[in-house]
Structure 1
Amino acid sequence: MPAKLSVNLNAIAMLRNRRDLPWPDVAHFGRLALGAGAYGLTVHPRPDQRHIRFADLPVLRALIDDEFPEAEFNIEGYPTEDFLALCERTEPDQVTLVPDDPAQATSDHGWDCIAHQAFLKETVARLKGQGMRVSLFLDGDGNQAMAEAASATGADRVELYTGPYGGCYDAAEEADRQIALLGKTADFAHALGLGVNGGHDLTVANLPALVKRIPYLAEVSIGHGLTADALEYGMAETVRRFRRACGESL
């Protein structure tokens, strides 16, 4: 079964926030993406609201509920009390927990699920108790012990950090090495009963090799590369291009 595409809207929101104006309209582009067959929408609301704003969340939740009830809403973030309360108010279908410092420009590493075992277990239980699926951002470095620690938290899925793979766009040999490590990590997680997602710097060019190596990949969350392509092809056609790269026959 092809990996499902969740469109990350942060880059659209960051462009909007350059001016005190309501465009580009984040909900409008979410509607275009879902109308073109995206499985869901992803946002990462940071404390400084430098891209997605807290006020965007109920609007996007309503968009999905009212117009695309089969789609999913995925919220990413570091689990501060404020973030957890935001999730409880918004009720996303999935929460992806990332170990980001608020000052980071973007997510660039996965959880140390061994060192943070107790914290993650408590957080996962809280969110799952509210009916949300929980995914943990995990380095795709072939570490079996880390996959086992992720499973021990009670999380439903892991999201493999694919940034190192995405950075190999001009280095085929290193890309092959990164694919092997991601696949190894995914196999460990899959064997433990975890669902496997992927995200960060994925493109139409590098997705096919990833989904071929990890045929059970459940979902990919893509923002930067997809938004860049949308400048050339438009949002709807870009979503279709990424769906084909995920293995869908359109």
Structure 2
Amino acid sequence: MSTPSRLSVNVNAVAVLRNRRDVPWPSVTDMARIALTSGAKGITVHPRPDERHIRKTDVENITQLIRTSFPSAELCLEGYPSAEFLDLVEKNRPAQVLYVPDDPTQTTSDHGWDFEANAELLKDVISKAKSWGVRTSLFVDPDPSQPALAKEVGTERIEIYTGPYGACYGDKVAAEAELDKVIATAEAARDLGLDVNAGHDLTVDNIPALIARAPYITEMSIGHGFVADSLIYGFKESVNRFRRALKEID
């Protein structure tokens, strides 16, 4: 039995590997094609100003790939809403933009928005995205007070930062405590009418407990854990493995 996928494969790590050499392989676009052909819902990329992994050309190529070959799939552009990033969103019109409060030098997204300090900024950039026909999502900490603040600035979705949960891979008690925070946040968002995404350090081992308690999660964006898994099993089989963890296929 198969159900629509919630898996969005983040291919940043593929770009990191490619960028170690002045060669075009591994092709970010080709790996995105394999993920989508294998049943992933979509592709997520987080282009940074220095293009240390995903490049603007990658965004353009994946946009074209989805439009021509996978029209039912989704591209999610993740990034801090700088003028340069907003220009990329406007030009490519992805299905979704995930605004994250990253400093350009950060290795990865590791905290949610401070809504009190950034409310006006977020209202403005959410309005811009909506005018381009792009769905918005905001990165939030696993804290049930956050969804109400996210809704106030006008977003349609939140993505819950699951890094603290994923970091407890060796401690079941701590993992359960962190999962409780994620679930409380997801429930608060659902009760407010917000769609719920989740992402960061999710694996085939820790997804089942999360999805069992929050089966209404709309999307999981998975990059590092997915690419690490694919080094053993291959991109195609890793899509299957993550979809099994999500209870989407047998």
Runs of 4+ in 1 over 2 A off after TM superposition: none
Partner of 1:130 in structure 2?
A: 132
Alpha-carbon distance in structure 2 between the residues aligned to 1:95 and 1:172: 33
Task: State the superposition RMSD in angstroms.
Answer: 1.0
Q: Residues 165-203 of structure 1: CA distance to partner in whole angstroms, max 9, x if unpaired?
A: 000000000100011000101111111111000000000
Deviation for aligned residue 1:112: 1.2
Residue 191 in 1 paired to residue 191 in 2?
Answer: yes
Residue number in structure 1 paired with 2:115: 113
Deviation of residue 3 (structure 1)? Answer: 6.2
* 1:249 CA drift (Å): 2.1
Q: State the secondary structure of the residue aligned to 1:189.
A: helix
Shift of 1:73: 0.3
Q: Secondary structure at the match of 1:116?
A: helix
Structure 1: give runs of 5+ residues left out of the alignment.
Answer: none
Cα distance in 2 for residues equivalent to 1:236 and 1:192: 36
Cα offset, 1:57, TM superposition: 1.0
Moved more, 173-182 or 111-120: 111-120
| Distance (Å, rounded) in 1 between the aligned partners of 2:186 and 2:108 | 22
Separation in 2 of the partners of 1:13 and 1:56? 9
The residue correspondences of 1:48-127 to structure 2 (distance < 5 A) are: 48-127=50-129
Distance 1:160 1:147 in 2: 9
8 A Cα contact 1:3 1:216, kept in partner: no
Contact preservation (8 Å) 2:111, 2:140: yes
- Give the secondary structure class of the aligned counterpart of 1:110: coil
**CA–CA distance in structure 1, aligned partners of residues 159 and 9 of structure 2:** 15
CA distance in 2, matches of 1:73, 1:229: 22
In 2, Cα distance between the equivalents of 1:217 and 1:29? 25
Residue 26 of structure 1 corresponds to: 28
Structure 2: gaps spanning 5 or more residues: none
Q: Kindly provide the CA deviation profile for residues 217-249 of structure 1, in whole angstroms up to 9, marking residues without a partner as x.
A: 000000001001111100000001001111102
* Equivalent residue number for residue 205 of structure 2: 205
| Alpha carbons 1:3, 1:211 under 8 Å: kept | no
Q: TM-score, normalised by structure 2?
A: 0.97
CA distance in 1, matches of 2:214, 2:5: 9
Give TM-score, length-normalised by structure 1: 0.97
Q: Distance in 2 between matches of 1:39 and 1:147?
A: 24
Query: Which amino acid counterpart does residue 177 of structure 2 have in structure 1?
Result: R
Letter in structure 2 aligned against 1:206: N
Aligned to 1:180: 180
Deviation at 1:114, TM superposition (A): 2.4
From 11, 14, 29, the counterpart of 1:12: 14
Deviates more, 1:2-11 or 1:41-50: 2-11
CA distance in 1, matches of 2:196, 2:33: 26
Partner of 1:231: 231
d(CA) in 1 for partners of 2:213 and 2:42?
23
Cα deviation code 1:140-171 (max 9, x no counterpart): 133x2x22110011101000000000000000
- Percent identity between the two aligned chains: 52
Provide the residue aligned with 1:47 in structure 2.
49
